[in-house]
Amino acid sequence: MTTPPYKVAYMKAGDSSRLYSRFFDNETEARQYASKVRSEGFEALLMKSVVNNEDGNHYYEWELLKTSGSWKYRLGTLIASPNFIVPVAIGLGAYLLLRKNNGLPRVIG
């Protein structure tokens, strides 16, 4: 049995103890359902199947599709990733070391 290629995962806003999901055969139906559950006060994510139960080993991989409600999740994962944290930490460290009157010797030139 193969799982349909589109999935809407949703949870009640403010309650992350339960995650619900529903599968769809086409993207249009999935987007309509995601919009419907958002209007009912749920946080919804729309996903597309990348790997679907290969060789019957119950392995699934989903790609998050861009929707109006998924920007918070994408922003959160960007901020928590090393691609964001490392440059910010380097920039902050450089600022703290190079700011005026920090006790570092001055180069006269």
**Beta carbons of 34 and 22 less than 8 angstroms apart:** no
The residue with greater pLDDT, 96 or 5, is: 5
What per-residue confidence (pLDDT) applies to 101? 66
pLDDT band at 104 (very low <50, low <70, confident <90, very high): low
Mean pLDDT of the chain: 85
What per-residue confidence (pLDDT) applies to 102? 65
Pick the closest to residue 48 from 35, 32, 65, 34 (CA basis). Answer: 65
Q: pLDDT digits over 93-103, tens only?
A: 888 887 766 66
Distance, CA of 79 to chain centre = 10
**Beta carbons of 41 and 56 less than 8 angstroms apart:** no
Task: Find residue 45's DSSP bridge partners.
Answer: 9
Q: pLDDT digits over 24-61, tens only?
A: 999 999 999 999 999 998 889 999 998 887 777 778 88
Domain ranges of the chain: 1-66, 70-101
- Structural tokens at position 29: 């139906």
Dist. CA 9–CA 103, nearest whole Å = 54
